[in-house]
Amino acid sequence: MSRRPLRLSAAALLLAAGTLATAAAAQDPLCPRWRQAFASMPVQMVTVESKGRTIAVRVRVARAGEQRAAGFQCATREEIERSLILFDFGEEIHTQFHMQNVPAALDIAFAKADGRIFAILRMDPSPTALYGPLGGFRYALEARAGFYESQGLRQGEARLVIPPAR
Residue type present at position 57: V
Residue 27 has a pLDDT of 67
Domains detected in the chain = 29-161 (2.60.120.1140)
Q: What is the pLDDT of residues 119-133, one digit of tens each?
A: 999 999 999 999 999
Residue length, the chain? Answer: 166
pLDDT digits (tens, 9 = 90+) for 101-111: 999 999 999 99
The secondary structure of 74-98 as a DSSP string is T--HHHHHH--EEEEEEEEE---EE
CA distance 30 to 9: 34
Mean pLDDT of the chain: 87
Residues in the chain where the model's pLDDT stays below 70: 1-27, 166
Alpha helices in the chain (DSSP H): 10-26, 31-40, 65-70, 77-82, 147-150
HSE toward the beta carbon, residue 26, CA cutoff 13 A = 8
pLDDT at residue 28, as a whole number = 85
pTM over 0.75: yes
